[in-house]
Structure 1
Amino acid sequence: MNWDEIGLKMGLEIHQQLDTESKLFCPCRTELIDSEPDHDIVRNLRPTQSELGKFDRAAFEEAMRKLHFHYENYDDGTCLVEADEEPPHPLNREALELAVTIALLLNMRVVDEFHTMRKQVIDGSNTGGFQRTGLVATDGHLETPQGTVKIENLCLEEDAARRIRETEDGVVFRLDRLGIPLVEITTDPSISDPQQLRDVAYQIGQVLRSTRVKRGLGTIRQDLNISIREGARVEVKGVQDLDLIPEIVEREVMRQLKLVEIRNTLRKRGASVDGDLVDVSEVFRDTASRIISSAESVLAVKLMGFHGLIGTEIQPGRRLGTEMADYAKKRGVKGIFHTDELPAYGITPEEVKALRDAVDASEDDAVVLVAHDRETAENALREVTKRARMAIDGVPEETRKALPDGNTQYLRPLPTSSRMYLETDIPLFSIEEEFIEWIRKNLPELPSEKRERLIEEYGLSDDLASQLVKRNLVEEFEALAEFRVDVTVVASLLAYTLRELGREGHDMDSIGIDELRDVIRLLEEGKVSKDALRDIVACMADDGVTAGEAAEKLDLLLLTEDEVEAVIDEIIELNHEMIQERGMGAMGPLMGQAMGRLRGRADGKIVNRILNSKIRERL
């Protein structure tokens, strides 16, 4: 696609948990809890007006669902602050220090006062109905091959409660994650190429990795803001895979272009939606469709001028009808039927004709029906008519969820500016210039700087250096590199061997830096060969033994040269005919036999030297 021609504009929001001792506004620890919760709190949320007397449209939309929210909590690990039963404690200074560190690494200007704000949250993930957040820095930038990208804001805020499961009438959350310090980093919307968007996300991620941030699934989340000239701003939430970003952008652009085409067609047809709901239960009184026959009532709505367009594919495998169904599902139904896909699902051509007659639909009209209890069906069809009217307008502003295949799915309307207001329970926090300068003088190395230093100082390959940086193992490598051994062996052990052993099912959690020091010390002292390291570490992980005990148990302690020579003499005697026939050509096969016999107990160079000499003696 020609991105400039379609007016593609993109921005990025990155949310990263900080690795602090305690939460942002209470002393609770920041680790997730695996045990069964001790208590359950039930809350219902409702929208409230802002100070200007306005409702946030996303909050109003969510309140219409009338959900019950359950919050699982613990006697030890969560407290009354998370339950919104106690005022917040003073701001976590450690978290602010980390946020300022990240801001300076992103070339940002730090504010002189931190003001805590309340940002309205409408999905139930915050017990108070709001998230505490505050601006830390503005006006940063990153350099990319496609140009400079502006970093607009960096905020320090609370993470939300952990979503555990859905129930028939609501959602169950757990409060162990609520309040963990989080930085939100926002770029401006000037990014115009999908690959550049991915590169910016990667660079920011590398900056974050150079500081104390949490690692693992769910600790970092990327949200994409995407729009085109004739479309609208759409926020895509929950992007986990950086490599999927270009695909998500391309599919969202495809969706918006298709919606623009549909809008133009609808306007040419003079399409309209009156929203009158018709009870068509009688039409399907004897239907063979099990879904419809089991429903309390069947309601339908006519969409004038929509014939053939509801079935139009707007993303691979997703149609305009899918978009309408996503809206309807927010009201408790599993899906919708529409005439662009009928007859099907047990609905006959005769029933389709009777349906069209019942709602007085012409050839250019489409009909959507929902089978459920009457109230749910009415609410679902009202959502369908709302989405149909949006189709006549074009592309709606929405918050959407990233799907694993690169498509996106409707979540809720895009929030408005009416959802932010001042937190009155927390005083402002002054950020002194001396505090900023102290942090500036102690900034950590950026990942790119670490990689270059490893290559220059230790002579590592670009691949090994990059893997150590990527896996956050530079500190461990430098500790082990103090031993008088080949640093490439140490780097390979950390970057590849440990990971491979973990994938094979060995419990690598028990192998820390002290255990690895013992392993490398055996190598330095000449007690084991480098080829034995993998088996020794695996035995230590499985059996809980020391490095020396593992080497002895596996019979991997190095033999003396005399012992190696004795083994090679045996091999020579058994293969004297091969030596006479092949001469030095027997070196390869015999070397294989020798290393098989001496596996892990002799250095390969020594074996090669002795074997070479012994073969020449026989010729």
Structure 2
Amino acid sequence: MSDTEYEYEDLGLVAGLEIHQQLDTATKLFCQCPTDLREPEESTRTFTRYLHPTRSELGEIDDAALEESKVDREFEYLAYDTTCLVEEDDEPPHELDDEALETALEVAQLMEMNPVDQANVMRKLVVDGSNTSGFQRSTLIATGGAIETSDGPVGIEDLLLEEESAQRVEETDDGVRYSLDRLGIPLVEIGTSPDISSPEQALEAAERIGMLLRSTGKVKRGLGTIRQDVNVSIAEGARVEIKGVQSLDDIDDIVRNEVARQAELVAIRDELTEREASVSDPENVTDVFEGTDSGVIQGALSSGGTVMGVRLEGFDGLVGREIAPDRRLGTEFSDHAKRHGAGGIFHTDELPAYGVTDEEVADLRDAVDADPEDAVAIVADETDVAEAAIDAVVERAQTALEGVPEETRGANDDGTTRYLRPLPGAARMYPETDVPPVEPDPSEVPEPELLTEKVERYQDEYDLGAGLAEQVAYGTHMPLFEDVVADGIDPTLAASTLESTLTELRRDDVAVENVTETHLQGVLRMVEDGDLPNEGVGDLLTALADEPDRTAEEAADAEDLGGADDEAVREAIVEVVERNEAQVAEEGMQAFSGLMGECMGALRGKADGDLVSEVLREEIQKRA
């Protein structure tokens, strides 16, 4: 299915973005716990919760929360030695973190937004277990900005300061396991206006916002620290919110595939209307599969389960129709069934298969009175699961008669999406009474330098090449680069170490993630003070990666990586030259290249290459 099949303007594509970016603050948004992430194995204890939806102040229950509550699940939380009562929801939240608020105001300034006079914390109902309280705290900070793209401006509707959710670790037999170290990390949520009209513009807008966020130097970097949600609709479709796009590079493909999905669902709707299609009530069709060779169905029946089926009148050939790459209308039905614990569904557009025979398909059609133009979908599982799952299939099939349902979907790694839940409504938001409002003061917030401006400054002020300047400005070590240069470290040394050297070591499978900023500062200071030659930087960083508990000085001493004095350098070079006296006598300065490598090897990185070169030339000239 190619994106060239669709003209986005003709289809009336409208898209908007929600960017969620973690802030690199010292503490969490409503408590003093650190914002460092750890491995689940480092947790020190666990506790469990069951969550349920609550009514809003107007007595309403949010549809998304209500559907989530129908899935009976236990939520287990991994706690750590720093986990506090606020994170466990056993103590009221503290006041809003000042550092997070200041960073949010910097971001608002970069997008020409208007800060609110008073920021009030709200509760956003969340019952998927990702927050121990059953809601997420969110605060509107600014409104009404804009960014530029090559296809015109994209409005920025709002900027909110929120607490990050707990990190989903794994599914368990009883529910879901979460890690609490991520819960409460401050993040900003930036929502654009629905001004985006093509996949390419969506990608460009996301890249622009990402650049502005990184320009503050106060956002976390790495996988999972920024997530993009994309809202997409076409004229005859519906607004669909796609959650959790991890990579900026995926946004244009996500939009393309969602346009294709909606266009195909509209085409299916039109075909179903023409066929006067309808959906029957579910029926128990267990008898059809007694003695079946299908492993899935036999497994369910041998455990006392049931096979439930439903006749989909006029759906023949359409349940198996592709609506996105490797996804069909039947996949949509299956997504809904899986929400209730079923492994999936079978349908007659794909049967006979999976051990189901032609005879069983014919008997199945007879059991539900299906005509040739009809399709039949079945679920085989424990009785309560099968019944709930087939009801979900019925509901989704009925929606297919109407076209594209409004819903929240999750992003898949291949650029497609899957059903998550209905779109949330206004009933999920209500005031947080435990946190006092704050009055943002943007007058004392400095305007950050844009990354594009940093690139130019690094070239002009530090004489870095264009490529290296861009690598540093857009790299994860940009704040550290600025700190060490301000502390007197040579800019070229700092830039090449933080970008080129670390990259080379990573490619050589050195565990550079173990090297801390303190390590890097120590290594650079040793070079700047003449205690370590440039050539020893890679070896010292490797040593620190292997044993990160050491300081740079301790590792240099242990590995004998300190710089050699001038006399020791000359002695080592003289020894090399005398060992190759015949070659020097015959070749003269032509012997320099071969002997240079031998000298550097003899000194084992303990001398600067320029010094070695100078002394070696002198010693050769004496003997030539």
TM-score normalised to structure 2 length: 0.88
Q: What amino acid is the match of 2:564?
A: L
* Match runs of 1:200-599 below 5 Å: 200-209=205-214, 210-274=216-280, 276-295=281-300, 296-431=305-440, 435-439=441-445, 442-481=446-485, 487-501=491-505, 504-506=509-511, 509=514, 511-513=516-518, 515-516=519-520, 519-520=523-524, 522-524=526-528, 529-542=533-546, 544=550, 546-547=552-553, 550=556, 553-554=560-561, 557=564, 560=567, 562-563=570-571, 566-567=574-575, 569-570=577-578, 572-575=580-583, 579=587, 588-589=593-594, 591-597=596-602
Q: Select the residue among 161, 168, 172 that pairs with 1:163.
A: 168
CA distance in 2, matches of 1:471, 1:371: 51
Q: What count of residue pairs does the alignment treat as equivalent?
A: 607
* Match runs of 1:54-69 below 5 Å: 54-69=60-75
Identify which range, 95-104 or 307-316, moves more after superposition.
95-104
Offset at 1:404? 1.0
| Distance verdict in 2 for CA 1:292–1:193, change over 3 Å | same
Q: What amino acid is the match of 1:222?
A: Q
Residues 228 and 245 in structure 2, CA contact (< 8 A), matched pair in contact too? yes
| CA shift digits 1:540-586 (9 cap, x unpaired) | 4445364487277258626547436524533652426863xxx8766
Residues 27 and 35 in structure 2, CA contact (< 8 A), matched pair in contact too? yes
Identity among equivalent positions (%) equals 48
| Distance verdict in 2 for CA 1:613–1:37, change over 3 Å | closer
Offset at 1:592? 4.7
CA distance in 1, matches of 2:485, 2:82: 41
Q: What amino acid is the match of 1:135?
A: L
Offset at 1:617? 8.0
| Distance verdict in 2 for CA 1:328–1:548, change over 3 Å | closer
CA distance in 2, matches of 1:517, 1:426: 39
Residues 124 and 137 in structure 2, CA contact (< 8 A), matched pair in contact too? yes
**Corresponding residue for residue 117 of structure 1:** 122
| Distance verdict in 2 for CA 1:537–1:72, change over 3 Å | closer
Offset at 1:208? 2.2
Q: What amino acid is the match of 2:60?
A: K
CA distance in 1, matches of 2:436, 2:494: 50
| CA shift digits 1:168-212 (9 cap, x unpaired) | 342233444333322211011111222222222222222222142
| CA shift digits 1:155-174 (9 cap, x unpaired) | 12222233233233422334
| Distance verdict in 2 for CA 1:172–1:546, change over 3 Å | closer
What runs of 5+ residues in structure 1 fail to find an aligned partner?
none
| Distance verdict in 2 for CA 1:535–1:113, change over 3 Å | same
**Corresponding residue for residue 201 of structure 2:** 196
* Match runs of 1:131-210 below 5 Å: 131-209=136-214, 210=216
Task: Report the secondary structure of 2:208's partner residue.
Answer: helix
| CA shift digits 1:17-69 (9 cap, x unpaired) | 23334433344444446533435142231353x34443322122112223333
Task: Report the secondary structure of 1:575's partner residue.
Answer: helix
Offset at 1:493? 0.8
Residues 78 and 175 in structure 1, CA contact (< 8 A), matched pair in contact too? no
Identify which range, 566-575 or 386-395, moves more after superposition.
566-575
Residues 45 and 124 in structure 1, CA contact (< 8 A), matched pair in contact too? no
CA distance in 1, matches of 2:31, 2:600: 60
CA distance in 1, matches of 2:118, 2:551: 53
| CA shift digits 1:317-373 (9 cap, x unpaired) | 111111110000111110111001111111111111111111111111000111112
| CA shift digits 1:257-278 (9 cap, x unpaired) | 211221121111111112x222
CA distance in 2, matches of 1:282, 1:496: 68
CA distance in 2, matches of 1:253, 1:105: 31
Q: What amino acid is the match of 1:331?
A: H
State whether structure 2 residue 50 is matched by structure 1 residue 43: yes
Offset at 1:400? 0.9
CA distance in 1, matches of 2:468, 2:574: 38
| Distance verdict in 2 for CA 1:518–1:124, change over 3 Å | closer
Offset at 1:466? 1.8
Residues 217 and 479 in structure 2, CA contact (< 8 A), matched pair in contact too? no
CA distance in 2, matches of 1:173, 1:549: 38
Task: Report the secondary structure of 2:148's partner residue.
Answer: strand
Q: What amino acid is the match of 2:388?
A: N
CA distance in 2, matches of 1:119, 1:396: 23
CA distance in 1, matches of 2:31, 2:516: 33
Task: Report the secondary structure of 2:279's partner residue.
Answer: coil
**Corresponding residue for residue 101 of structure 1:** 106
| Distance verdict in 2 for CA 1:534–1:304, change over 3 Å | same
Report the RMSD for the aligned CA atoms in angstroms: 3.0
CA distance in 2, matches of 1:126, 1:520: 42
Identify which range, 122-131 or 408-417, moves more after superposition.
122-131
What runs of 5+ residues in structure 2 fail to find an aligned partner?
none
| Distance verdict in 2 for CA 1:613–1:558, change over 3 Å | closer
CA distance in 2, matches of 1:444, 1:82: 32
| Distance verdict in 2 for CA 1:112–1:279, change over 3 Å | same
CA distance in 1, matches of 2:183, 2:520: 36
Offset at 1:377? 1.2
| CA shift digits 1:300-331 (9 cap, x unpaired) | 11001111111111122111111110000111
Q: What amino acid is the match of 1:284?
A: F
Task: Report the secondary structure of 1:224's partner residue.
Answer: strand
Identify which range, 558-567 or 50-59, moves more after superposition.
558-567
Offset at 1:604? 4.2
CA distance in 1, matches of 2:136, 2:357: 51
TM-score normalised to structure 1 length: 0.89
Task: Report the secondary structure of 1:245's partner residue.
Answer: helix
| Distance verdict in 2 for CA 1:588–1:65, change over 3 Å | same
CA distance in 1, matches of 2:487, 2:142: 43
| CA shift digits 1:415-446 (9 cap, x unpaired) | 12222223344443333xxx22111xx23322
CA distance in 2, matches of 1:251, 1:181: 32
Q: What amino acid is the match of 1:107?
A: E
Task: Report the secondary structure of 2:344's partner residue.
Answer: coil
